[in-house]
Amino acid sequence: MRDLQRRAVARLAPHLELLTELGRVFTAAGHELALVGGPVRDAFLGRRTSDLDLTTSASPEQTEALVRPWGEAVWDIGRAFGTIGVLKDGDKVEITTYRADAYDGQTRKPVVAFGSSLTEDLVRRDFTVNAMALRLPDLEFVDPYDGLRALAERTLDTPTAPEVSFADDPLRMLRAARFTAQLDFRVAPRVETAMRERASTIEIVSAERIRDELSKLVLADNPRPGLALLVDTGLAELVLPELPALQLEIDEHHRHKDVYQHSLTVLEQAMALEGPRSVPGVETVEPVPGPDLVLRLAALLHDIGKPATRRFESGGGVSFHHHEVVGAKLARKRLRALRFDKDTIRDVCRLIELHLRFHGYGEGQWTDSAVRRYITDAGPLLSRLHLLTRSDSTTRNRRKAARLASTYDELEARIEKLQAAEELGKVRPELDGNRIGEILGIPPGPVLGRAYQHLLAFRLDQGPVGEDAAREELLRWWAEQPESGQ
C-alpha cells in the first residue's frame, strides 16, 4: 500500500512544490486543505492530470483572502458553489469549501450546503474512487470509503447508498457511464440497480449539464460500454432516445442487421481512422485530429432515421428509403434540445445527410461533375465525410469490404486530382453577382441569387468553361424564367 502511495505521489511531482506551499499557507491560517477527487485518482492510475482540485475548511471569503497575495491571478466565478480559482506558476488551482450538493427535487440546479470536515465532504462525492484525498502540506493519504480497493478492482461504487448519491445529483448516473468509457471501469451491481430505478430523475438536470457529460463520454477512448450502460439502464430513453430506438426487433428471417450494434461499431471504426492515415494513390491525405466530437456524433447518429423509414418489401427485403434525410432532421431536433452549439449541429446533420452519397458511386461510374458536387456539397466536412463513409461498412464479408475500401480509395484519388486541377475549394461561377446583374439588368435580390446558383451548378457540371460560355448559359436560363418577360 505504501509503495503504491509513493508512486502516486511521485506522479504529482510537477505540482508538489506548489501544493505543499499552498498547504502551508492554509495551515498557517488555521485551515485544512487537501488535494481531492480526480487528481488523486489519476495519480494512482498513472494518468496525467492538468486539474488541481482542492477542498478546504476555509470559507470562500477566507480562501480568497489567503490566495490573493499568494497567486498571480484569482477568479471567483464559482463562488456561489464555494469555489475560488487561482493561477500560480502556470498551474490553475480550484479550491472549494467543504460542501454537499443536492437537488431539491424541483429545480435543475444543485443546492449548495457547506460542510465542516473532509470526511463529510468525501462522503458526498460521486464515487469512492473520487473520494480519496491527500492532506496538504504533509501528503497524508485519506481514504475513508475504500476508494483505493475499488480502483484496484476497477469498480465504480458510491461512498453512501447509490440511491442517496443519485438523489443528491442525478447527473452522477451519466457520470458513471462516462467513467466506464474513460477509465475502463464497471459499475457495481447496486449502482446499476439504482441507475435503473432512478433513471427518471435525470429529467431535473439541465440540458447543458447532460450535453457536457454525453460529449465527454463520446470523446472517451472507449465510449461503447458507457453508451451501452445508458441504454441498458433506461437513461438513454430520457437523454438520447434515438439511440435505444435503433434496437429494431430482428425478425425470424434476419432480414436486416442490428442497427444499434452497427452504429456503435461505426463509431469505433470512425475513431480508429482519426489522426494521420494514408490512402493508396493519394499523395496528401488531410487528417481528422482526434478525438473529434462532430465525427463521433455523426457516426453514432447516422442511422437514427431508420426506425421511422423501415419498410418490409414484398420480396422479403427491408428498405429504409431517405433515412439519411429523416435522420438529419431527428439529429437536429435532439442536438438542439441538448443545447449543442449551432456549428456542431449544422456539421453533424450535414454529415448524416451525406453519408449515403458514396453508394451511388458504384464501380466508379461517377462523372467528374458528380465528383465535383460531392466535394462542394461536403465543403469543409469532406475529410470527416471520408471517415464516416468508410466506417459505415461493417460487413463481415471480407471480399465485399475490400471492394468498398478500394472503390473509396479510387474516389479519394479522383478528388485529389480534381482539386489540384480546379481548386474546387475556391470554385465560383465565371460571372460574379455584379456581372450577372449587369447582363440581365436586374437588381440584387432572390432572382439574382437563383441566377448565381444556376451558374454555380453549371460550373460544377461542366468544369471551367470561360466567361463567354457562362454568359451564353446565363442568357439561355434567363429566357426560360417568368421574370424575363419573354
The set of cell numbers assigned to 204 is 431535473
Q: Are 145 and 200 part of one and the same domain?
A: no
Total of domains in the chain: 4
Q: Give the CATH number of the domain where residue 218 resides.
A: 1.10.110.30
Give domain status of residue 329, yes or no.
Answer: yes
Question: What is the percentage of the chain residues whose pLDDT exceeds 70?
Answer: 93
Confidence of residue 253 (pLDDT cuts 50, 70, 90): very low
Dihedrals φ, ψ of 273, to 5°?
-90, -10
Q: Give the CATH number of the domain where residue 13 resides.
A: 3.30.460.10
Q: What is the pLDDT of residues 73-83, one digit of tens each?
A: 999 988 888 99
Q: Are 182 and 62 part of one and the same domain?
A: no
Pick the more confident residue, 420 or 200: 200
Q: Are 99 and 75 part of one and the same domain?
A: yes
Q: Are 279 and 336 part of one and the same domain?
A: yes
pLDDT, position 396: 83
Pick the more confident residue, 54 or 482: 54
Q: How far is 293 from 141, CA to CA, in rounded Å?
A: 37
Give domain status of residue 85, yes or no.
Answer: yes
Q: Are 224 and 301 part of one and the same domain?
A: no
Q: Are 415 and 441 part of one and the same domain?
A: no
Q: Are 270 and 290 part of one and the same domain?
A: yes
Strand order across the 52-56 sheet: 73-75, 83-88, 91-97, 52-56, 33-36, 133-136, 140-142
Q: How far is 356 from 362, CA to CA, in rounded Å?
A: 12
How much is the mean pLDDT over the chain? 89
Q: Are 67 and 18 part of one and the same domain?
A: yes
Say what the pTM is.
0.83
Q: Are 350 and 268 part of one and the same domain?
A: yes
Give domain status of residue 249, yes or no.
Answer: no
The set of cell numbers assigned to 344 is 456542431
- Asked if pLDDT for residue 433 goes beyond 60, the answer is yes
pLDDT, position 1: 61
Give domain status of residue 326, yes or no.
Answer: yes
The set of cell numbers assigned to 271 is 475513431
pLDDT, position 254: 45
Instruction: Choose one of 133, 151, 169: the last residue of a domain.
Output: 151
Name the nearest CA neighbour of 214 among 384, 337, 49: 337
Q: Are 415 and 439 part of one and the same domain?
A: no
Give domain status of residue 51, yes or no.
Answer: yes
pLDDT, position 214: 98
- Asked if pLDDT for residue 42 goes beyond 50, the answer is yes
Q: Are 139 and 181 part of one and the same domain?
A: no
Q: What is the pLDDT of residues 214-227, one digit of tens each?
A: 999 999 999 999 99
Query: Do residues 474 and 436 lie in contact, with contact meaning Cβ atoms separated by under 8 Å?
Result: yes
Confidence of residue 249 (pLDDT cuts 50, 70, 90): low
Range of the domain at 446: 433-484
Q: Give the distance from CA 32 to its chain's centroid.
A: 38
Give domain status of residue 229, yes or no.
Answer: yes
Confidence of residue 108 (pLDDT cuts 50, 70, 90): low
Pick the more confident residue, 189 or 113: 189
Pick the more confident residue, 248 or 146: 146
Give domain status of residue 358, yes or no.
Answer: yes
Rounded to 10 degrees, the C-alpha dihedral 194/195/200/204 comes to: 100
Q: Are 67 and 168 part of one and the same domain?
A: no
Give domain status of residue 250, yes or no.
Answer: no
Instruction: Choose one of 383, 410, 426: the last residue of a domain.
Output: 426
Q: Which long-range contacts (CB under 8 A, 24 or more apart) does 41-48 make?
A: 41/129, 41/130, 41/132, 41/147, 41/151, 42/11, 43/8, 43/9, 43/11, 43/12, 44/4, 44/8, 44/132, 44/148, 44/151, 45/151, 45/183, 46/11
Type and span of the H or E element at 33: strand 33-36
Q: What is the pLDDT of residues 320-363, one digit of tens each?
A: 888 999 999 999 999 999 999 999 999 999 999 999 999 888 77
DSSP assigned state of 288:
B
Kindly give the residue spans of alpha helices, DSSP state H, lying in 29-130.
38-45, 60-67, 118-123
Instruction: Choose one of 124, 151, 178: the last residue of a domain.
Output: 151
